[in-house]
Amino acid sequence: MDYKVLKEEDFNISNWTGGKTKQLAIYPEDGNYLERKFVWRLSSATCELEESNFSKLPDYDRVLVVLEGKVVLAHEDVRVARLNELEQDRFSGGYKTKSFGQITDYNLMVRKGNEGFVDILDLTAENMTPEVESYPEFQLATQAFYCRDGFATVSINGKSVLVNEGEQLVINYDQHEEVKVSIMGEGHVVRCQIFYNYEIGQFGPTIVPEEKATTSDFNQCVFIANTQFRGARFIFKRLKKIWYDEALQGAIDKINHMYIVELVFMLGIVGVAAIGKDNFTAGLWIITLALWIFADIFIVSPFIFFIVVPKPVAKHIKDVDKLTPYEQEVRFRQMNSNERVEKILKKYKFTGNDKYDKDGNRIDDYFHNKY
């Protein structure tokens, strides 16, 4: 379990078409709202226009609470909600939603497949223990308390935390942990309960700290260097069970695109030919070429990759059955892309000689315009 009181200096403030948004908290902490890479997000926004269009977030469910003012939320072709202060509406982020009225609101966004609820606590000097929903199918849970006015004293497993007006307390915990929360004070607090699953690497690459190179790294490079040809997957069964992450594959592609390995191999052949031109017998030629090929396979080419690839190499080689959601998405894109075709299409699009529809099909201007 961990908890933190977030204050004004911790909030990220930005503009949206209807006013300003103050991001109070986001999970994971390195999540990105604009890229829609987060499990849940707490925010407070102002609607400064009489009419405002909400951003569409089809992958999220939302709960909006009015902190100040009155509003009408119109969810096109679904329903209409009229809200006064401290009233809420729960709706899908995929709705086409328009608001009527100038307000300050509080927002909970939760990625679909998880659960999130909001209620309002009217505080008194007497300590209360708010009920917590039960969703044991989710591993993680968060209780969040936003003080709209007044102040709140929150007890977390016996430790007291003060939350002043405009501050956000976030308590994250594993549901296997025993967490007891009680609260007292004066004014009103917006409480959120969020239940969710999350694994590292769900929205971005897994960060592998760089380490000193070892013999194990070189051994991995021997395998990598000698499987960079078409059809390698059919010869080396291991390739069907592993996936190189973006950092490792990027380093490999850099070497392959510059044809460094092939160039060094040919230079070696030229060197052998130059040295043995007038000195080697047929037998010595065969032995020398064999030695160079052996050295290239097990020393020279692996060393080229060894210089460039990230270490430890083994941690950048993943079991295809244990990929994170983000890695699965990247692998899917890789398997469904054709680099050579993409280069050709890019070339034609760049020159402007051809035009393409939204599906990438070529449009013949003559027939397109005539018919």
Q: Is residue 58 part of a domain?
A: yes
Domain presence at residue 205: no
Rounded to an integer, what distance in angstroms lies between the CA atom of residue 284 and that of residue 282?
5
The verdict on 160 and 56 lying in the same domain is yes
Distances 213 to 154, 264, 314 between C-alpha atoms, Å: 49, 23, 11
In a domain, 201, yes or no: no
Cα 139 to Cα 42, 132, 195, 205, 225, distances in angstroms:
20, 15, 8, 22, 42
pTM reported for the whole predicted model = 0.67
Alpha-carbon distance 311 to 337, whole Å? Answer: 27
Residues 6+ apart with CB under 8 A from 226: 297, 301, 302
What pLDDT does residue 316 have?
96
Same-domain pairing of 144 and 175: yes
- For residue 363, pLDDT over 50 is answered with no
* pLDDT at residue 93, as a whole number: 95
Q: Are residues 57 and 165 in the same domain?
A: yes
Least confident of 93-102, 127-136, 234-243, 358-367: 358-367
SS3 assignment, position 241: coil
Cβ contacts of 143 within 8 Å, gap of 6 or more: 132, 171, 179, 181, 191, 192, 193, 194
Does residue 49 belong to any structural domain of this protein?
yes
pLDDT at 360: 43
DSSP state at residue 297: I
Residues 325 and 191 in one domain: no
Summarize the confidence of residues 79-98 as an average pLDDT.
96
Share of the chain above pLDDT 90, in %: 73
What local confidence, expressed as pLDDT, does residue 169 receive? Answer: 98
Is the residue at 136 inside a domain?
A: yes
Tell me phi and psi for residue 13, to 5 degrees.
Answer: -105, 135
Do 10 and 140 lie in one domain? The reply is yes
- Written as six digits, the tokens of 189 are 């607090």
Residues 38 and 174 in one domain: yes
Q: Is residue 143 part of a domain?
A: yes
Ramachandran angles phi, psi of 258, nearest 5°: -95, 0
The DSSP 8-state label assigned to residue 298 in this structure reads I
CATH of the domain at 110: 2.60.120.10
pLDDT at 65: 98
Q: Say if residue 283's pLDDT is above 90.
A: no
Higher pLDDT, 157 or 361: 157
User: Rounded to 5 degrees, what are φ and ψ at 33?
Assistant: -65, -45
What pLDDT score was predicted for residue 324?
84
Round to whole Å and give the CA distance between 371 and 366: 8
Phi and psi, residue 188, nearest 5°: -125, 140
Q: Which of 152, 168, 196 is the C-terminal boundary of a domain?
A: 196
Average pLDDT, the chain: 89
124-159 pLDDT tens trace: 999 999 999 999 999 999 999 999 999 999 999 999
Residues 269 and 157 grouped into a single domain: no
Do residues 316 and 188 both lie within one domain?
no
Does residue 237 fall inside a structural domain? yes
pLDDT at residue 343 in the model: 61
Q: Is the pLDDT reported for residue 38 higher than 70?
A: yes
The listed range with the strongest mean pLDDT (279-288, 298-307, 340-349) is: 298-307
Q: Quick one: 177 and 51 in the same domain?
A: yes
State yes or no: pLDDT of 310 exceeds 80.
yes
Ranked by mean pLDDT, the top range of 13-22, 179-188, 203-212 is 179-188
| Helix/strand/coil (H/E/C) assignment for every residue in 185-202 | EEEEEEEEEEEECCCCCC
C-alpha span between 65 and 106 (Å, rounded): 5
Q: Tell me the residue range of the domain where 52 lies.
A: 2-196
- Per residue in 46-84, pLDDT tens? 998 999 899 899 999 999 999 999 999 999 999 999 999
Nearest to 174 by CA among 220, 212, 140, 147: 140
With vertex at residue 58, the alpha carbon angle to CA 55 and CA 62, rounded to the nearest 5 degrees, is 70
Report the pLDDT value the prediction gives residue 371, as an integer from 0 to 100. Answer: 33
Length of the chain: 371
pLDDT (0 to 100) of residue 365: 39
Number of folded domains in the chain? 3
Residues 33 and 107 in one domain: yes
More confident residue, 324 or 255: 255
What span, in angstroms and rounded, lies between the C-alpha atoms of 351 and 344? Answer: 11
Does 209 fall in a domain? Answer: no
- In a shared domain, residues 72 and 119: yes
Cβ–Cβ under 8 Å, residues 145 and 191: yes
**Same domain membership, residue 284 and residue 163:** no
Residue 347 pLDDT: 59
**Residue 205's pLDDT is what?**
80
